[in-house]
Amino acid sequence: MLFTHKTHSNLSQYGWSVATVLAIAAICFPFTDLIGYRTVSLILLMVVSILAMRFSIGPVSVAAILSALIWDFFFIPPHFTLTVGHGEDALMLLMYFIIALLNGILTNQMKVYDRIMRRREDKESTLRLYNTLFNSLSHELRTPIATILAASENLTSKDQQWSEQDKLAMNQVIHTGAERLNRLVDNLLNVSRLESGHLTLKWDWCDVGELINTAALRLKPDLDNKTLDVKIPANWPLMRLDFVLMEQAIYNLLHNAATYTPPGTRIEVDGAYQNHQLTIRISDNGQGFKEEEDLLRIFEKFYRPAGSKAGGVGLGLSIVKGVIKANHGTIEVRNKPEGGVEFILNIPTGQLLRPTLNY
């Protein structure tokens, strides 16, 4: 099948090369006396050069040979014969053929070289991404695994008698480590599905307030002396969304704010519904992004602003953008004038369902 496709592609290139040379020659022929047959050679040479930028060496070589024969037969005196009347015209014909052929070959070589360089750059870029991912994963996996192992070894040790309060604290350490591992695995799986295009949305009627509150509840153990203020209108209609993915996107944004802001930061969540569009704003009063490049690249996989806090793989915000895009929405980020960062999610809701009360 691939061979057949390539054969058809090559035949198409040959056809276009021949047709283009014939068409340009036909256009030039009535104006030969006006522009001169030597000018026609420059025009045909330019056509061969343009074809060389698009097609492979075979079709370009055919175009070079055909254009030389056409120029000789129709334009160089005496007309309608391959005989050349003057020695200088014969030399020009020879030089034309050589230049057209060399031009096609050299242009094709440049295309091949450019293709090789781009493939090499793609491989190097992919290798850098893999190295970044593995380095980040090694750190992200090592920390929770070490804490889980240490806490579990202490709990199972027969040489130490632990109080119920100590056991509860160590169980909490194990639970926190397991949550961190689960979050990392979820992010990796979601990135894989987004990249492969196999992410299937499960549309259902959702209470957006419940969705946001679920994400906020998950965040509580990670707040670390930060304040979370959720302001969601109580009269929002039910909306058709993928609850699990949207909740994960909201949680990623909240977790990002809780992780990369100093103690005492206030994180706010509010929203609005207008003209069949859901808008959710997540903001903080931290330091914000220092560089304009950070605002432009923050949703790229593995991107981390310079000087950011250690830890994290750099997938959370990339997943957020993918989920919002899958829900046909958009996400924006900006530094607030008074300090801090604001993420704005805009999601078209389509169908709505007003909640009803049954007495």
pLDDT band at residue 2 under the 50/70/90 scheme: very low
**pLDDT at residue 351 in the model:** 53
Residue 284 shares a structural domain with residue 187 = no
Last residue of a domain, one of 196, 212, 241: 196
Mean pLDDT of 86-109: 81
Q: Is the residue at 24 inside a domain?
A: yes
pLDDT band at residue 19 under the 50/70/90 scheme: very high
Q: Is the residue at 359 inside a domain?
A: no
Residue 252 shares a structural domain with residue 340 = yes
Residue 142 shares a structural domain with residue 77 = no
Range of the domain at 264: 204-353
Mean confidence (pLDDT) of the chain: 81
**pLDDT at residue 139 in the model:** 60
Residue 183 shares a structural domain with residue 217 = no
Mean pLDDT of 320-335: 88
Residue 302 shares a structural domain with residue 344 = yes
Q: Is the residue at 231 inside a domain?
A: yes
Q: How far apart are CA 241 and CA 221, in angstroms?
A: 27
Angle between helices 316-326 and 164-196 (to 10 degrees): 50
Q: Does the global pTM surpass 0.75?
A: no
Count of all residues that appear for the chain in the document: 359
Q: Is the residue at 128 inside a domain?
A: no
Residue 185 shares a structural domain with residue 301 = no
**pLDDT at residue 134 in the model:** 63
Last residue of a domain, one of 196, 212, 244: 196
Q: Is the residue at 358 inside a domain?
A: no
Mean pLDDT of 195-212: 80
Residue 218 shares a structural domain with residue 346 = yes
Residue 258 shares a structural domain with residue 348 = yes
**pLDDT at residue 186 in the model:** 75
Strands 352-353 and 238-241: antiparallel
Mean pLDDT of 326-336: 89
Q: Is the residue at 264 inside a domain?
A: yes
**pLDDT at residue 341 in the model:** 92
pLDDT band at residue 353 under the 50/70/90 scheme: very low
Residue 240 shares a structural domain with residue 309 = yes
Structural domain count of the chain: 3
Residue 149 shares a structural domain with residue 209 = no
Residue 188 shares a structural domain with residue 97 = no
Q: Is the residue at 125 inside a domain?
A: no
**pLDDT at residue 355 in the model:** 42
pLDDT digits (tens, 9 = 90+) for 295-325: 888 888 777 777 666 556 677 788 888 888 8
Residue 192 shares a structural domain with residue 221 = no
Q: Is the residue at 129 inside a domain?
A: no
Mean pLDDT of 72-93: 83
Of 225, 221, 218, the C-alpha closest to 267 is 225
Q: How far apart are CA 104 and CA 173, in angstroms?
A: 68
Return the CATH number at 282: 3.30.565.10
Residues with Cβ < 8 Å from 144, sequence gap 6 or more? 176, 177, 178, 180, 181
